[in-house]
């Protein structure tokens, strides 16, 4: 278990990288720190590792307070973005290095390194140096180094971001299975929302040193708590449009839409994912009217951008149904899929409650 209480890190010059963070990560949980660059996610990971000292607040790992414990005594293993392998050591020596520091006898640590390496399909490469390995192999060596010392927690700093796209998908699946098998608490830093959704049990979305939302991938994807999270999560950005609630309806960008229960009258922000809208070529009142400006091929679908007054509205249409640019079209939000924000807080109720529409 990893716990944070009021964790704050201020860098010289007054930059607040971490701003009073509270968090509990359960034993064996695969936990993502997700956010754009500069949001503090890497600083948080490094603070958990002990490479940075917090300005205030406390950290517990496995029930022990470790706030002022040096990194090597926290019993965590870290995988760095550039892997940080030791260039002058072969794979065996790299994997066995943490064990060597712990004075594990040579025969035992080399056996453990070989065993871990075989689990990560590195058996053929034991005598190689990092410079003689491909990016994917280096990444697995870095993982093996972390796995071999049986730590209380894994700390991963964007370990997949230096791999090419196809390899990244393979490595992702592999990583998820490995984490399940080992059941070691894992904190995973990423700026890739897809990676966070696919891999982890829970996600903390970060912005400017704070958590904007902490929840399961499903929660974060379906019910983003604020417009920042709404805009950040999802492979195509969510449509976020200003509007007003009143007279039993939502008026957004020229469309009159059903008012979900529990939304008070007044200005709102209306959010709907491009995947949750259908495109109609005939006029409808409960739809956003516009002109097709751009059509982007996504492979199995197309992303259509409508120009609707001063707004751009995006919707995903299935293969073969894409309109040609310049035609008039209407984007129809699917019932129950819309999110309504007021003062940057989600106010529309869960669709499961049946209150929507």
Residues lying near another protein in the complex (CB under 8 A) are found at 49-51, 70-73, 76-78, 80-82, 84-88, 97-98, 101-102, 129, 131-132, 145, 149, 155
Q: How far is CA 86 from CA 90, 91, 93, 94, 262, in A?
A: 8, 9, 9, 6, 58
- The minimum distance between CB 110 and another protein, in angstroms, equals 16
Greatest pairwise CA separation for the chain in angstroms:
78
Q: Which is nearer to another protein, 135 or 237 (CB)?
A: 135
Q: Which is nearer to another protein, 85 or 277 (CB)?
A: 85
- The minimum distance between CB 118 and another protein, in angstroms, equals 21
Closest CA to 203 of 19, 30, 18: 30
Q: Which is nearer to another protein, 102 or 334 (CB)?
A: 102
For residues 228 and 242, give the distance between their C-alpha atoms in angstroms, rounded to a whole number. Answer: 14
Q: Which is nearer to another protein, 85 or 196 (CB)?
A: 85
Residues 6+ apart with CB under 8 A from 210: 19, 20, 21, 40
- The minimum distance between CB 62 and another protein, in angstroms, equals 16
Q: Which is nearer to another protein, 34 or 49 (CB)?
A: 49
User: Within the chain, how many helices (H) and strands (E) appear?
Assistant: 8, 21
Q: Which is nearer to another protein, 82 or 343 (CB)?
A: 82
- The minimum distance between CB 209 and another protein, in angstroms, equals 21
- The minimum distance between CB 60 and another protein, in angstroms, equals 18
Q: Which is nearer to another protein, 30 or 97 (CB)?
A: 97
- The minimum distance between CB 96 and another protein, in angstroms, equals 10
Closest CA to 210 of 17, 64, 67: 17
Q: Are 9 and 55 a contacting pair, CB within 8 Å?
A: yes
For residues 64 and 119, give the distance between their C-alpha atoms in angstroms, rounded to a whole number. Answer: 31
Task: Give me 312's structure tokens.
Answer: 């751009």
The dihedral through the CA atoms of 248, 251, 254, 256 has a sign that is negative
- The minimum distance between CB 75 and another protein, in angstroms, equals 9
Q: Which is nearer to another protein, 153 or 220 (CB)?
A: 153
For residues 33 and 10, give the distance between their C-alpha atoms in angstroms, rounded to a whole number. Answer: 19
Q: Which is nearer to another protein, 49 or 230 (CB)?
A: 49
- The minimum distance between CB 145 and another protein, in angstroms, equals 8
- The minimum distance between CB 70 and another protein, in angstroms, equals 8
Give backbone dihedrals phi and psi of 20, rounded to 5 degrees, phi first.
Answer: 60, 60
> Residue 265 class from Cβ within 10 Å (0-12 exposed, 13-18 middle, 19+ buried)?
exposed
For residues 292 and 306, give the distance between their C-alpha atoms in angstroms, rounded to a whole number. Answer: 5
Grouping H, G, I as helix, E, B as strand and the rest as coil, residue 312 is strand
Following DSSP, what letter does each residue of 249-273 receive, concatenated? EEEETTEEEEPPTT--SEEEEEEE-
Q: Are 257 and 249 a contacting pair, CB within 8 Å?
A: yes
């Amino acid at each position: 278990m990893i716990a944070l209480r009021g964790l704050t890190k201020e860098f010289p010059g007054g930059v607040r990288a971490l701003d009073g963070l509270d968090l509990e990560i359960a034993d064996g949980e695969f936990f993502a720190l997700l956010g754009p660059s500069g949001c503090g996610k890497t600083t948080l990971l490094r603070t958990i590792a002990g490479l940075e000292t917090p300005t205030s607040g406390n950290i517990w790992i496995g029930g022990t307070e470790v706030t002022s414990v040096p990194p090597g005594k926290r019993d965590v293993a870290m995988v760095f973005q550039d892997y940080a392998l030791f260039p002058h050591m072969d794979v065996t020596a790299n994997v066995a290095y943490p064990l060597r520091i712990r004075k594990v006898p040579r025969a035992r640590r080399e056996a453990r390194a070989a065993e871990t390496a075989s689990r990560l399909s590195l058996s053929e490469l034991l005598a190689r140096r990092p410079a003689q390995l491909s990016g994917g192999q280096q990444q697995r060596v870095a993982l093996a180094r972390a796995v071999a010392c049986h730590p209380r927690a894994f700390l991963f700093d964007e370990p997949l971001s230096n791999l090419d796209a196809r390899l990244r998908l393979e490595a992702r699946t592999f990583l998820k299975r490995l984490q399940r098998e080992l059941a070691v608490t894992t904190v995973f830093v990423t700026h890739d929302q897809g990676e966070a959704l696919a891999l982890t049990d829970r996600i903390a979305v970060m912005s400017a040193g704070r958590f904007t939302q902490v929840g399961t991938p499903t929660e974060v994807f379906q019910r983003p708590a604020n417009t920042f999270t709404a805009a950040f999560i999802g492979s195509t950005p969510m449509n976020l449009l200003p509007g007003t609630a009143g007279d039993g309806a939502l008026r957004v960008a020229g469309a009159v839409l059903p008012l979900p229960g529990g939304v008070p009258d007044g200005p709102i922000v209306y959010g709907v994912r491009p995947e949750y809208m259908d495109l109609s070529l005939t006029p409808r009142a409960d739809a956003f009217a516009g002109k097709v400006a751009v059509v982007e091929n996504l492979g199995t679908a197309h992303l259509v951008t409508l120009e609707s007054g001063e707004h751009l509205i995006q919707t995903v249409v299935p293969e073969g149904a894409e309109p040609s640019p310049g035609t008039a079209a209407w984007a129809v939000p699917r019932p129950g899929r819309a999110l309504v924000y007021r003062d940057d807080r989600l106010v529309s109720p869960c669709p499961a409650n049946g209150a929507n529409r």
